[in-house]
């Protein structure tokens, strides 16, 4: 690519996916974990730009503990809003392109069709509000030189995720009660990274939706996970209302958040495979077998 690439959030599973992708293609990059770069610290960000001189910044840093965000909205906004703002400002000053990842949680879940990037925003949780604030910060600081990819239900090697949680819980003999009335699309980190690289290669900018194709609910997703990992174990479906009766301090999730990825395909030609095929590819690299 002939670029100087800086990846933030270097200890997480999305950064791991980019590292694997770049290594496989012989692309050089610098990976910085949160212990090496606090993206909300403007002075630290300036120093990192001065040292590494990036032409592309891939922001994989985020506070993604959705329920914890309800208890600590200040931290959520620090990482998910102030961090992207600092990176966007520094990227604009350096003439670098910024790639940032947002979420389906910026929508309220009331529309019952695949959601377009231009559809009305309405986050209901502290997490969703902090991620939308991050989008708005980037738009304000660097309105020309950015890519924002909204994704959903992310999993992959190199970090904690729903797939690993369900597999480990079943193997430990824990009761599995999983919500069946929230619909979305599981997304494999390595597919998301490949889509982002395709957009970069195409010199695309703007907001895009990026998930694997198809749709499911958390209960059906869990059933499929256990089949893929050859685990015969009972899973009980429950409603969102039932879940809140058990966990009343949980964050509100969108009831429907399937994302329409057609604008991404039009921009760069990348077509996402279905979520079932992606999950099967995750199994041998998951560390769970």
**Which of the residues are catalytic?**
127
- The C-alpha atoms of residue 171 and residue 126 are separated, in whole angstroms, by 32
- The C-alpha atoms of residue 55 and residue 111 are separated, in whole angstroms, by 38
Q: Is the dihedral of CA 284, 212, 141, 70 positive or negative?
A: negative
Asked whether the beta carbons of 108 and 254 are under 8 A apart, the reply is: yes
Tokens of 46: 């300036």
- Angle of CA points 154, 158, 161, to nearest 5°: 35
* Residue-wise burial string across 155-176, b where 16 or more C-beta atoms lie within 10 A, e elsewhere: bbbbbebbbbebbeebeeeeeb
Tokens of 157: 């090697």
Comparing CA positions, the residue from 18, 25, 9, 28 lying closest to residue 191 is: 18
What is the crossing angle of helices 275-282 and 218-228, to 10°?
A: 40
Comparing CA positions, the residue from 66, 65, 107, 59 lying closest to residue 83 is: 59
């Amino acid at each position: 690519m002939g670029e100087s690439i800086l990846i933030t959030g270097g200890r997480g599973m999305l950064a791991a996916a980019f590292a694997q992708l770049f290594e496989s293609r012989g692309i050089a990059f610098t990976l910085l974990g949160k212990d090496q770069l606090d993206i909300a610290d403007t002075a630290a960000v300036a120093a990192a730009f001065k040292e590494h001189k990036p032409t592309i910044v891939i922001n994989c840093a985020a506070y993604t503990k959705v329920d914890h965000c309800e208890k600590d909205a200040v931290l959520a906004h620090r990482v998910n809003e102030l961090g992207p703002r600092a990176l966007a400002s520094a990227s604009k000053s350096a003439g670098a392109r910024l790639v940032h990842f947002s979420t389906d949680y910026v929508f309220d879940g009331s529309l019952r069709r695949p959601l377009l990037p231009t559809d009305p925003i309405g986050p209901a949780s502290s997490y969703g509000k902090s991620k939308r604030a991050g989008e708005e910060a980037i738009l304000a600081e660097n309105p020309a030189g950015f890519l924002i990819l909204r994704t959903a239900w992310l999993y992959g090697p190199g970090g904690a995720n729903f797939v690993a949680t369900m597999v480990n819980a079943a193997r430990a003999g824990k009761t599995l009660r999983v919500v069946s009335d929230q619909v979305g699309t599981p997304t494999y980190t390595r597919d998301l990274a490949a889509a982002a690289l395709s957009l970069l290669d195409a010199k695309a900018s703007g907001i895009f939706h990026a998930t694997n194709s198809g749709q499911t609910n958390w209960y059906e997703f869990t059933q499929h996970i256990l089949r893929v990992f050859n685990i015969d174990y009972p899973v009980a479906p429950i409603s969102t209302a039932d879940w809140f009766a058990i966990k009343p301090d949980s964050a509100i999730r969108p009831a429907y958040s399937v994302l329409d990825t057609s604008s991404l395909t039009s921009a760069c030609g990348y077509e996402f495979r279905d979520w079932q095929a992606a999950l099967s590819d995750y199994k041998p690299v998951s560390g769970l077998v």
